[in-house]
Amino acid sequence: MNETIELLRKHRSIRRYKDTDVPEEHLREIIVTAQAAPTSSNIQAYSVVAVRDPEKRRKFAELAGNQQQVAETPVFLVWCADLNKIRSAVRLHEDTELSQNVELFLLATIDAALAAQNATVAAESLGYGTVYIGGIRNNPQAATDLLELPPLVYPVFGLCVGVPAQDPDIRPRLPIGAVYHRETYSEYGLEDEIRAYDETMSHYYATRKGGGKGGEDETKWSKEMWRRFDGKRQRDHMHDFLHRRGFELK
Ligand SMILES: Cc1cc2nc3c(=O)[nH]c(=O)nc-3n(C[C@H](O)[C@H](O)[C@H](O)COP(=O)(O)O)c2cc1C
C-alpha cells in the first residue's frame, strides 16, 4: 500500500478538537490543494468561506442542529456552489443572464464537492481531523445570511478542520461487491452483501472505542436506512430555497 492510499484508507471523521489553531499558511495550502481538483470544463463553479469567528461558528453549530463540533472547531469551511462567478465572467463579454438548468446546478455542486474532498485529504495529510457538516442545509437561508452570499451561490456543506482530540475507529464500509460492478450493474447477491454489512456494523457499534450504540437490531445499516428514508423526504425546503437563490432546476 503506498502512502496516499494508506492516508485515504485511514480516514475517519473527527468531531473533537484540541484547542490549537490551524495557521493561515496551512489553510491556504489546503485551499490551493482543493483548487487542484478536477472541475467540469474548468468552470471552477465553487467558493469556500472560512469561518473562524467563535460567535459565528456558534450560530452555525446551532443552525446545523446543535452540532457542537462546529462550535469547537478552530475553522469551519463552508463550501458553496457558485454560479455568480460564471455570470461575472459571461458579463465581461455580454450583459446577459446565465442560461441555466439542472445540469449547471449539478456541475457547480459536483465541483464544490470534489474541491472539498481534496481539501479533506490535504488537511488529513497535515495531521488535521475533519468532518463534513451537511446539517447546515437544515437552515440554508440562515447559513447564507451569515456568510452574506450573493445570488447564484448556495452553501452545499461545511467542513470542520482541527487538530484531533479523539482517535475513533475507522467506520467499516459496504462489502466491495455492493458498490463495484463489472460491465453491467448486477443486483445478484446484493441482499446478502447488505446482510453481511448489517452484521459488520452491529459488531462495529458493539466494539468501537468510545462506546457502543443501541441494540443489535438498531445498529443494522439497513435498519438505519429504513429509519431515515421510509416515507420521509429529507430537507424538502431545498427546492424552493435554491429557486430563491437564483438556481433554475429545469
Ligand atoms: C456531505 C456530507 C455531509 C455530512 N454531514 C454531517 C453532519 O452534518 N454531521 C456529522 O457529524 N457528520 C456528517 N457527515 C459525516 C458522515 O456522517 C461520515 O462521513 C460517515 O458516517 C462515514 O464515517 P467516516 O467519515 O468516519 O468514515 C457528513 C458527510 C458528508 C459526506
In contact, 48 and 115? CB cutoff 8 Å: yes
Give distance in angstroms: CA of 13 to centre of ligand 1. Answer: 7
Positions of E strands within 17-121: 46-51, 75-82
d(CA 141, CA 163): 30
d(CA 239, CA 102): 11
pLDDT higher than threshold 80 for residue 242 = yes
Give distance in angstroms: CA of 96 to centre of ligand 1. Answer: 39
Give distance in angstroms: CA of 192 to centre of ligand 1. Answer: 25
pLDDT higher than threshold 80 for residue 216 = no
At residue 76, the 3 state secondary structure works out as strand
23 plus 136 within the same structural domain: yes
Give distance in angstroms: CA of 220 to centre of ligand 1. Answer: 17
81 plus 30 within the same structural domain: yes
d(CA 241, CA 250): 15
Domain-embedded: residue 226: no
Confidence of residue 231 (pLDDT cuts 50, 70, 90): confident
Give distance in angstroms: CA of 133 to centre of ligand 1. Answer: 7
Ligand 1 atom nearest the C-alpha of 12 is 26
pLDDT, tens digit, 9 for 90 and up, residues 58-73: 999 999 999 999 999 9
Domain-embedded: residue 118: yes
Cα torsion for 115, 120, 121, 122, to the nearest 10°? 80
Domain-embedded: residue 227: no
Q: Which domain holds residue 195?
A: 176-219
Domain-embedded: residue 224: no
Judged by average pLDDT, the poorest of 1-15, 126-140, 201-215 is 201-215
46 plus 115 within the same structural domain: yes
193 plus 162 within the same structural domain: no
Distances (CA, A) of 193 to 99, 105, 172, 208: 43, 34, 13, 22
CATH code of 145's domain: 3.40.109.10
> Could you tell me if the CB of 131 is within 6 A of ligand 1?
yes
Give distance in angstroms: CA of 117 to centre of ligand 1. Answer: 12
88 plus 144 within the same structural domain: yes
pLDDT, tens digit, 9 for 90 and up, residues 33-58: 999 999 999 999 999 999 999 999 99
Distances (CA, A) of 99 to 83, 105, 149, 246: 11, 11, 21, 11
> Could you tell me if the CB of 201 is within 6 A of ligand 1?
no
Domain-embedded: residue 90: yes
Domain-embedded: residue 74: yes
21 plus 90 within the same structural domain: yes
pLDDT, tens digit, 9 for 90 and up, residues 82-131: 999 999 999 999 988 899 999 999 999 999 999 999 999 999 999 999 99
77 plus 106 within the same structural domain: yes
> Could you tell me if the CB of 26 is within 6 A of ligand 1?
no
107 plus 16 within the same structural domain: yes
159 plus 67 within the same structural domain: yes
138 plus 190 within the same structural domain: no
**Average pLDDT for the chain:** 96
In contact, 189 and 177? CB cutoff 8 Å: yes
Instruction: Give pairs for 2-5: CB < 8 Å, separation 24+.
Output: none
- The count of residues in the chain is 250
In contact, 246 and 108? CB cutoff 8 Å: no
Which residue's C-alpha comes closest to atom 30 of ligand 1? 132
Structural domain count, the chain: 2
99 plus 201 within the same structural domain: no
Domain-embedded: residue 81: yes
Distances (CA, A) of 47 to 114, 139, 154, 175, 219: 12, 19, 9, 35, 37
> Could you tell me if the CB of 67 is within 6 A of ligand 1?
yes
pLDDT, tens digit, 9 for 90 and up, residues 160-214: 999 999 999 999 999 999 999 999 999 999 999 999 999 999 999 999 988 778 7
In contact, 79 and 116? CB cutoff 8 Å: yes
Give distance in angstroms: CA of 89 to centre of ligand 1. Answer: 34
Domain-embedded: residue 149: yes
Per-residue pLDDT, averaged over 131-157, amounts to: 98
> Could you tell me if the CB of 155 is within 6 A of ligand 1?
no
> Could you tell me if the CB of 13 is within 6 A of ligand 1?
yes
114 plus 130 within the same structural domain: yes
Ligand 1 atom nearest the C-alpha of 11 is 27
In contact, 63 and 104? CB cutoff 8 Å: no
